[in-house]
Amino acid sequence: MEIKVRVDGVDHKAHAQLIKGTLWVHHNGRVFTMDASTGRKSRKKAGAGGSSDQVVAPMPGKVTKILVSAGASVEAGQAVVVMEAMKMEYTLKADIAGSIDSISCAVGEQVALGKALIKIKPASDK
């Protein structure tokens, strides 16, 4: 669905989808979520998730590119997967530096919200 959001007093159109009680709003390359049952807001960006050793799907969607291979070294912030959801493209990035331990998705695969796509072995564990 398309909704109207107000950012700094200016109205914009954004795409939104209600999935399992969470309202996902996509605007200008950023993703915002709201727990529909409590009304509490949170702010996420594609690929975000603290300093996790996993890259997880921030929303249901289709994997369109895998930019790394198993065993490859990655730096924190490096793009590792590209996925498409709600007619928008999202580049998911590694939160930590290390090497790719496993890849749990394939190009063209539909993935669910929260699915672990890439597992990274932290650089300090080498």
Tokens of 43: 């702010």
11 contact partners, CB below 8 Å, separation of at least 6: 4, 5
CATH number 2.40.50.100 is the correct assignment for the domain at 50-125: yes
Confidence at 49, pLDDT banded by 50, 70, 90: very low
CA atoms within 13 A on the CB side of 7: 12
- pLDDT tens digits along 111-120: 988 889 999 9
Domain segments of the chain as ranges: 1-46, 50-125
CA distance linking residue 17 with residue 57, whole number of Å: 15
Alpha helices (runs of H) in the chain, residue ranges in sequence order: none
Global pTM? 0.63
- pLDDT tens digits along 67-109: 999 999 999 999 999 999 877 888 899 989 999 999 999 999 9
Return mean pLDDT, the chain: 82
